[in-house]
């Protein structure tokens, strides 16, 4: 009997323990979010917020804040900490003073916004500007094309069919200006004489292919260039009188693919890419950006001319 009990005890001792409950895998994202394409960067921030908030969706304005900060050098660990700080107190709502220089629900005064078409449904967003919206960065897998799946003006904009992007105010005030049509046929590059003394602005997109300043259209001197199937009507931006910033530009170059910073006059406002000079495509948040103060950074071979919005 004692031998049988001993054998039973040894068997129980040797029996494998029941497996522990599987722990949910935590979303993984690299520390340097700028290494990710824009849609993946947005998804990484969304996943982190959802994990910390038990499945809630991050508000568009808070996502825009973190995308901007990521472009200025915030790593994923800092964003993770700031999300945690923003969710503490008030049942998970925004807590004023969440993190030094972080999100508090009211401290974002940027001139860009995120507007998202969830489940491919049409949605309207209020804008912090009164002019027409232009795409600054596409953060959806669906390509956002003005007039096709986004548009607006007068303080509101709309997105549809899965478009999700970061938008800013387009240059306006040109309805009475002379326009020049320039078309990239069969995706070929084309240059069109315009005779503009001031920066040009896209006033009407004619193609299904997106016309994105610095990527598929731009200005060289007094001429307009288009590529990648962009077809549009362009006009001279005549807002410059008395503003003092219409002609302000700055070239910043990443030589030998190295990171570089260039001084930007903060009083000019947020810079935009006016002309891409390098063969390497310059993409905001990926290989160029602005720190919100007086510095533009470039990396990975981006070389471009930047102007005041």
Q: For the purposes of burial, counting CB atoms within 10 Å of the CB of 119, is it exposed (0-12), middle (13-18) or buried (19 or more)?
A: exposed
Averaged pLDDT for residues 265-284: 78
- Interval 203-256: pLDDT, tens: 677 788 878 777 888 888 888 999 999 988 887 765 443 333 445 677 888 888
List 290's β-bridge partners, or say none.
296
Model-level pTM greater than 0.95?
A: no
Query: For residue 116, what pLDDT band results from cuts at 50, 70 and 90?
Result: very high
% pLDDT > 90, the chain: 14
Please state, rounded to an integer, the average pLDDT across all residues of the chain: 76
Give the integer Cα–Cα distance in Å for 97 and 106: 10
Q: In Å, how far are 39, 83, 114, 236 from 59, measured between CA atoms?
A: 16, 12, 9, 37
Report how far residue 243's alpha carbon sits from residue 283's, in angstroms, rounded to the nearest whole number.
28
pLDDT in tens, 129-185: 777 888 877 888 888 887 788 888 878 899 998 999 888 877 543 333 467 889 999
User: Between residues 193 and 291, which one has the greater pLDDT?
Assistant: 193
For the four alpha carbons of 30, 34, 35 and 37, in that order, the dihedral sign comes to positive
Q: What is the SS3 assignment for the chain?
A: CHHHHHHHHHHHHHCCCCCCCCCCCCCCCCCCHHHCCHHHHHHHHHHHHHHHCCCCCCCHHHHHHHHHHHHCCCCHHHHHHHHHHHHCCHHHCCCCCCCCCCCCCCCCCCCEEEEECHHHCCEEEECCCCCCEEEEEECCCCCCCECCCEEEECCEEEECCCCEEEEEECCCCCCCCCEEEEECHHHCCEEEECCCCCCEEEEEECCCCCCCECCCEEEECCEEEECCCCEEEEEECCCCCCCCCCCCEEEEECHHHCCEEEECCHHHCCEEEEEECCCCCCCECCCEEECCCCEEEECCCCEEEEEEC
Separation of alpha carbons 149 and 120, rounded Å: 10
């Amino acid at each position: 009997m004692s031998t049988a009990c001993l054998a039973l005890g040894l068997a129980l001792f040797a029996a494998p323990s029941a497996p522990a409950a599987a722990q949910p895998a935590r979303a993984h994202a690299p520390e340097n979010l700028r290494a990710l394409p824009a849609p993946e960067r947005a998804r990484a921030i969304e996943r982190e917020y959802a994990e910390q908030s038990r499945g809630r969706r991050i508000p568009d304005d808070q996502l825009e804040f973190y995308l901007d900060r990521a472009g200025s050098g915030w790593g994923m660990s800092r964003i993770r900490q700031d999300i945690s700080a923003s969710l503490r107190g008030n049942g998970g709502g925004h807590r004023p003073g969440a993190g030094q220089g972080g999100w508090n629900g009211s401290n974002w005064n940027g001139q860009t916004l995120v507007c998202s078409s969830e489940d491919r449904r049409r949605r309207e967003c209020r804008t912090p500007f009164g002019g027409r919206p232009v795409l600054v960065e596409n953060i959806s897998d669906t390509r956002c094309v003005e007039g096709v799946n986004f548009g607006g003006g007068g303080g509101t904009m709309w997105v549809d069919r899965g478009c999700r992007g970061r938008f800013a105010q387009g240059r306006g005030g040109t309805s009475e200006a002379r326009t020049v049509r320039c078309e990239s046929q069969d995706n070929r590059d084309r240059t069109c004489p315009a005779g503009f003394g001031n920066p040009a602005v896209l006033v009407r997109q004619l193609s299904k292919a997106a016309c994105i300043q610095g990527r598929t259209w731009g200005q060289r001197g007094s001429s307009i260039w288009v590529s990648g199937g962009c077809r549009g009507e362009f006009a001279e931006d005549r807002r410059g009188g008395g503003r003092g910033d219409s002609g302000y530009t700055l070239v910043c170059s990443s030589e030998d693919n190295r990171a570089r910073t260039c001084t930007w006059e903060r009083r000019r406002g947020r810079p935009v890419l006016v002309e891409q000079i390098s063969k390497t495509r310059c993409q905001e948040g990926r290989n160029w950006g602005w720190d919100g103060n007086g510095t533009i950074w470039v990396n990975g071979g981006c070389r471009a001319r930047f102007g005041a919005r």
